Structure 1
Amino acid sequence: MDETMLPAAIIASMGAALVLRRAWSLPRRSLGWNAIGWCLFGLGITLGWIAGGAWGSTIATIGGIGAALLLLAHAAVTAPPATGARASNRRVGALPEGREPFRLGRRIVTFLMVVLAAMIVALGLGLAARGLLAWSGAGEANANVASFFLMPVAWAMLAFFLLLEEERARQWRLLALAAAPGMLALAAGLA
């Protein structure tokens, strides 16, 4: 193992936080700066993986998170106090207004889809990733860590996209597509 690989991974992740902070402070959205920032995070994770597997990726990511926290703390301390700021009065549609129907059944189904079904599908994705990595020779520890990493990330992404969908059929279709890798891994005996 090259001894400069892990420090390079940490520096790339820390640089990613700096570049993304720069990109998000510009008056207009910059695709180039955002792309550079996210590519640096990807480079840091990749170099970390080469240096030490899942452990190396974790250490590189911690470097980026630490840099981001320092940047946020600096922004919080140096931000001028808001004068005359008021809370938003935008309606989120969480509760019905006036004589609108409550749609309790639909709300319960949405909750169960996002919390229970999406969690089970994300668990299947994590098991599929673990099985695939173990089968490919990545090592049991690396396969387990990748699975533990993927499950909550997949669950959060599924929840996000499910809540964006307005049609119930499209929500079920999304869950079915996301469940396919877990079902294939289960059928192949990888899970």
Structure 2
Amino acid sequence: MTDDALLFAAILASVCAAVVLRRAWSLPRRSIAWNGAGWCLFGLGLVLGWIGAGAWGSTVATIGGIGAALLLLAYAAATAPAANGARASNRRVGALPEGREPFRLGRRIVTFLMIVLAAMVVSLGLALATRGVFALGGAGEANANVASFFTMPLAWAVLAFVLLLEEQRARQWRLLAIAAAPGVLAVAAGLAI
């Protein structure tokens, strides 16, 4: 593919990502599949944009996705019916108990520690693995370091997003364990130095 075709594909992937995420967020229940597909399309747009034109290509692809999202939001705002006495959504997020429900403070603390501490440590392991892979691939030390600095916050954000969407505690721990595998392997192989 030529650079222009890659850039066009990147913009198209980002626009499709905005449409898929809009669909995902309009569903009555959370859908990991729809959300995952939308974010994967954004990731594909970034990668194709980078291959086609470097950082500028990724930026252009991102702007395409943002533009599509703005158009979708503008359409939704323009076509939303004005209702007298409209009530707020009854969709609960479970942030606070209602009535006499238990507060579940222990569960909330475990969730906080899982998202903040455990996911951060796993993301750090992924960053070290990324640095090791780049160093093995012949990248200079500065490039390998920058790749790891890029990976850590991105992996942490993705892990937090996926963990918060998952409702079962056992599956959350399983996701963390799977994501921790590359970091553990990198440390065991001595690539994390």
Band the TM-score falls in, shorter-chain normalisation: 0.5 to 0.7
The residue type equivalent to 2:50 in the other structure is W
Paired position in structure 2 for 1:30: none
Cα distance in 2 between the residues matched to 1:72 and 1:115: 32
String of CA shifts for 1:29-62, please: whole Å, max 9, x gaps. xxxxx9x988865654343232345x25532432
1:129 matched to 2:130: yes
The alpha-carbon distance between structure 1 residues 161 and 141, as it changes in their structure 2 partners (threshold 3 A), is same
Shift in Å, 1:119 = 1.3
Q: Which has the larger radius of gyration?
A: 1
Task: Output the CA distance in 2 between the equivalents of 1:111 and 1:123.
Answer: 18
Percent identity reads 60
CA distance in 1, matches of 2:88, 2:148: 41
Amino acid at match of 1:59: T
Change (3 A) 1:150 1:80: same
Work out the CA distance in 2 between the residues paired with 1:52 and 1:142. Answer: 18
Letter in structure 2 aligned against 1:67: G
Are 1:67 and 2:67 an aligned pair? yes
72, 86, 96: which one aligns with 1:94: 96
TM, length-normalised to structure 1? 0.65
User: 1:180–1:17: structure 2 CA closer, same or farther, 3 Å change rule?
Assistant: closer
Question: Which secondary structure state, in structure 2, belongs to the residue aligned with residue 4 of structure 1?
Answer: helix
Separation (CA, whole Å) in 2 of partners of 1:56 and 1:179: 32
Residue 155 of structure 1 aligns to a residue in which SS?
A: helix
Structure 1 gap segments, 5+ residues each? 28-33
Distance 1:7 1:139, change over 3 A: farther
- The worse-fitting range, judged by mean Cα deviation, of 64-73 and 123-132 is 64-73
Q: Provide, for residues 68-89 of structure 1, a one-character-per-residue CA deviation record: whole Å limited to 9, x for no partner.
A: 3431453255234430420134
After superposition, the Cα gap between the structure-2 partners of 1:81 and 1:60, relative to the gap in structure 1 and judged at 3 Å, is: same
The match for 2:168 is 166
For the 8 Å contact 1:20–1:37, the answer to whether it is kept is yes
Cα distance change of structure 1 residues 130 and 68 upon mapping to structure 2, 3 Å threshold: farther
- Residues of 2 paired with 1:67 and 1:87: CA distance? 28
Judge which range, 37-46 or 7-16, deviates more.
Answer: 37-46
Q: Distance in 2 between matches of 1:162 and 1:17?
A: 21
**How far, CA to CA, are the matches of 1:65 and 1:23 in structure 2?**
14
CA distance in 1, matches of 2:5, 2:145: 23
SS of residue paired to 1:64: helix
Check whether the contact 2:46–2:62 (CA below 8 A) recurs between aligned residues: no
- Structure 2 Cα separation of the partners of residues 162 and 23 of structure 1: 21
Contiguous gaps of at least 5 residues in structure 2: 28-34
Q: Deviations over 1:84-137 (max 9, x none)?
A: 420134552633642x54443332222111211111111211221232133224
Decide which moves more: 12-21 or 156-165.
Answer: 12-21
Q: Quick one: distance in 1 between partners of 2:136 and 2:154?
A: 22
Q: Secondary structure of 1:87's match?
A: coil
